[in-house]
A and B are shown apart, each in its own frame.
Chain A
Amino acid sequence: GESVGLHLPTLSVQEGDNSIINCAYSNSASDYFIWYKQESGKGPQFIIDIRSNMDKRQGQRVTVLLNKTVKHLSLQIAATQPGDSAVYFCAETGNTDKLIFGTGTRLQVFP
């Protein structure tokens, strides 16, 4: 039978459009943040990170924005492709090195 789990928010975008995935983090003392991508049946895969002394960081097709005032993190994916379909998790670390993961957002890309 189907197991009960958290209902993941889902973002559906058309191929070629830009995607924005949002995350609210909990600990104001957190100073390092990572976005991970998880495809079905696989482990989390690093996408991009940012430290608390920055507001924005860009990678290849991805940008992370950090708003410490409201404890908000976002991931922007430019020109979304079918291969971007996955669950995206933000994670934070504070005064310890353990990662605290958010609940995740499912990104669905349709043609």
Chain B
Amino acid sequence: EPEVTQTPSHQVTQMGQEVILRCVPISNHLYFYWYRQILGQKVEFLVSFYNNEISEKSEIFDDQFSVERPDGSNFTLKIRSTKLEDSAMYFCASSGKVNTEAFFGQGTRLTVV
């Protein structure tokens, strides 16, 4: 069964450092997303990406965040200068059509120290 894969599973970084979270969406999907979940809280939308550009972003997704699809398979989330409050699980998701089931990866646990 096709799945969304994310690496690394856990990333520890020092405050102020840049991190790149990587995702390989399902191969024939066209819509890509990043969500985050602070421990014990609900899943929050960060950004959606379609046709090589951001289609929507939330207030959380400020200038410190960026996304990229550098090749035909990877989808990355970069945080330029991490803050303590960026510590969370980051989930990548993809879907084949708009307003259809989104498949989620297992997540990257980001810990900023």
**Residues of chain A whose beta carbon lies under 8 Å from any beta carbon of chain B:** 3-6, 8, 31-32, 34, 36, 41-46, 49, 89, 91, 93, 96-104
Question: In the complex, what's the smallest C-beta–C-beta distance from A38 to chain B, in angstroms?
Answer: 8
CB pair A3–B43 under 8 Å, yes or no, is no
A31 CA to B56 CA in the complex, in Å? 18
Inter-chain contacts of B44 with A (CB < 8 A)? 101
CB pair A5–B104 under 8 Å, yes or no, is no
Interface size for B (C-beta < 8 A) is: 29
SS of A interface (majority): loop
Inter-chain contacts of A103 with B (CB < 8 A)? 42
From the candidates B41, B56, B101, name the one contacting A96 in the complex (CB within 8 A): B56
From the candidates A42, A46, A102, A104, name the one contacting B101 in the complex (CB within 8 A): A46
Given A32-B99, A97-B31, A98-B33 in contact, is the A42-B106 Cβ separation under 8 Å? Answer: yes
A41 CA to B40 CA in the complex, in Å? 11
Inter-chain contacts of B35 with A (CB < 8 A)? 99
Inter-chain contacts of B95 with A (CB < 8 A)? 97
CB pair B101–A44 under 8 Å, yes or no, is no
CB pair B107–A31 under 8 Å, yes or no, is no
